[in-house]
Amino acid sequence: MASDEHAPAPPAAHGDQPPPEHALEAPGEEHKVAGSPHAQAANAAVLALTRAARSFTLYDPSNKVVRTLIGEYRDRFRRALDGHGPLVLDVHPFELLLGPEVVYIEKDRERSLAFRLFRDGVRRIAFDAGTSWEELLRLLEILSIRYTGVRQQEDDLVTLLRKAGFDHVHVAAIEGFVPEEEDAEPPLDVDLMRATGERYDPAPQWDLPLPPFPEAAPLSYRPVAPELLERLRGEEAPEVLPSEAVRSVLELLQAPARPDLGAVLGFALEVREFLLLEGKADLVGELASAVRAALAATPEAISPFLASYLDARALRVLIQALPPAAEELPTALAELLDAAPGDTLGRLVDLLTEEGDGPRAPLLRRLVARGCRHAPETLAARLRSAKGEVAVVLLRLLGEVDPAAALHAAGEASTAGEAPLQLEALKRLEAAAFSPEVGRALRHLVESPFEEVRVAALPVMAVRGGPRVFPALLAHVEKHAAHLSPAEATAAGRALVRSSARSALDAFQVWLHPKGGGLLGRLVKLHAPLPLQRVTLAGVVAVLGEEAEEMLAFLGEKGDAEVAGAATAALAARRRAGGGRG
């Protein structure tokens, strides 16, 4: 087994110019995988592990950033193991695979967890579902040891993993190998090989002949003024590191002989990660604005960079840094959101959905409206595939941005939406001017498979459509008479009267009296089914006049027990109030 001191990881070669299409890609391990939920959970867990292990190279172990990353590592691994069971990862030179799915890829050997494992001979690492936090923490300690040095005398990874005595973490390994040195040592001098004497040549880049060296002078020191020491300490103080990191990116971008653009932008993403961990949201926007200004001559490079820069995590941190009641955005953040690609709108919608009725909901609604004011079709397209509360929020926002598009979307939702979305669509239709399109959508909602939607749509259709929609309402009631619940029967009766009171009373008379009428009809039991009796009762209660009073008396005498009692009580109350005639 070859240990790390014999196989130093060569530095990443940034000198070669990458192909243009790859110039703006984020570091490989930052790519979030698509695939099965298990693969996505494994990707999140492995990324959290690598970030936590590398954090020891930048921060003191007691730093709050390290604690944050360790907590994220614990939570994501626990979520992956509890939600999907055992995690078995196959180790390749630059990738980690979960079955056939790649869950981690990083081709920079200085950063790559896969390369470090593969170099030391690890070919598979498996985590049982019952892996404890103590074992996960021990694994992190082992990996952090391998990240924090270049040449060390400790054992290699396989040995360290085996010595740890894990019960639920299993490692499959082979004999490690030692890659060839990238910078081979020069051959020994021929004279030295022949042992002809001692001879030492200067380095080839030195100027010859060597200058004569005088006698060594004694060292002398002078004290440094306290104010100079304070300035020197201030240059390396933790509070100035974020701004210095931003300045270093700008200097690289503005250098006369700028290095590889892909490497500089990759470094900018690393700085963004550092700023997010430090909670410097203002500098995140400032850095993006500066990079956009530096790339003004190459606009085709801006959009790919912003797509990686303003990911879901960065956007969440930026929004959380704003006061909930903020009326105006910081200039840098506003410019960043305006220049961001279309995916940003979807991420803002996700944040709004997560927020629900939280304190930042109004702010997020304004941000979504700002993001789609020039392209409302983006929001409408997202609405077609949305489900549940997300769809409701999108339709509500679309109404604020583009009422015409929201009305069209409400019509589509009347036939294919879920109950919450159809109720939101009903609000849009209720507020719109009545038209054949609105009438058709209301008819669809009256025929909705969801009772709560039907109950809410019946009065809206009656009020907006008037006598024009009475035939449709009557057909709906008679078609579903055997299945109307008490709530829907009540809503239907009131809707019929609101649409056309005269036509409704005529329909009630037909339901109540058996064919043939006359004295014989009044002597037999009421033949209308109970749901139609409920519809009639709800309708005549809302109508004044002698005819309605007679129907109440008839229902009280001939109706089923439930309807008879309600009709008698309604008639008595009407007579007490003196409003039964008119």
Report how far residue 368's alpha carbon sits from residue 370's, in angstroms, rounded to the nearest whole number: 5
Q: Rounded distance, CA 243 to CA 333, Å?
A: 17
Between CA 103 and CA 476 the distance in angstroms is 55
pTM greater than the 0.75 cutoff: no
Q: Where are the beta strands (DSSP E) in 174-285?
A: none
- The rounded Cα 565 to chain-centroid distance in angstroms is 56
Q: Which two tokens stand for residue 155?
A: 């054992």
Q: Tens digits of per-residue pLDDT, 357-399?
A: 778 877 877 777 777 666 667 777 777 777 777 788 788 878 8
Mean pLDDT of the chain: 78
CA atoms within 13 A on the CB side of 252: 19
Q: What is the DSSP string of 437-464?
A: HHHHHHHHHHT-S-HHHHHHHHHHHHHH
**pLDDT, tens digit, for every residue of 477-529?**
888 888 889 999 999 999 999 999 999 888 888 888 755 444 334 434 556 78
Residue 240 has pLDDT above 60, yes or no: yes
Structure-token pair, residue 348: 């803002």
Q: What is the pLDDT of residues 155-171, one digit of tens each?
A: 678 888 888 888 999 99
* Residues 130, 90 contacting (CB under 8 angstroms): no
> Is residue 539 within a helix (H) or strand (E), and if so which, with residue range?
helix 530-541
Contacts of 63-67 with C-beta under 8 Å, sequence gap 24+, read: 65/277, 65/278
Q: 568 to each of 335, 365, 492, 543, 561, how far by Cα in Å?
A: 69, 52, 21, 15, 11
Q: How far is C-alpha 504 from the geometric centre of its chain's CA atoms? A: 52
pLDDT in the model for residue 88: 94
What is the per-residue pLDDT across 253-300, written as a single tens digit (0 to 9) for each? 887 776 677 888 888 888 888 888 888 878 888 888 888 888 777 777
Distance between CA atoms of residues 308 and 301, nearest Å: 12
